[in-house]
Amino acid sequence: MTYRSTVVINKEGRWFVARSIELGVVSQGRTVEDAQENLKEAVELYLDDMPKTKKYLNKGQPLVTSLEVSRG
């Protein structure tokens, strides 16, 4: 089975930090590509450690939105 996840990558100092929004798994790399590859490995390990009955409970698409706050 294939698991899809929304990934956000931010530059933090010299590192690119990649986060799976749905799972909360985080990894990093010196390049965007390294961060993505490291996150993929981390997610695979995370899913392997989950009990089979809970592995794919959240099959729905996440709601991704934004928030704007005005300060006077």
Residues of the domain holding 46: 7-52
The pLDDT score that the predictor gives to residue 53 is: 46
Q: What is the pLDDT of residues 11-38, one digit of tens each?
A: 999 999 999 988 889 999 999 999 999 9
Q: Is there a domain that residue 34 lies in?
A: yes
Q: Is there a domain that residue 15 lies in?
A: yes
Specify the DSSP class assigned to residue 23: T
* pTM more than 0.85: no
55 pLDDT above the threshold of 60: no
Q: Is there a domain that residue 14 lies in?
A: yes
Q: Is there a domain that residue 44 lies in?
A: yes
Mean residue pLDDT of the chain comes to: 83
Q: Is there a domain that residue 64 lies in?
A: no
Q: Is there a domain that residue 1 lies in?
A: no
Q: CA 31 to CA 15: how far, in whole Å?
A: 7
Q: Is there a domain that residue 28 lies in?
A: yes
**Domains: count for the chain:** 1
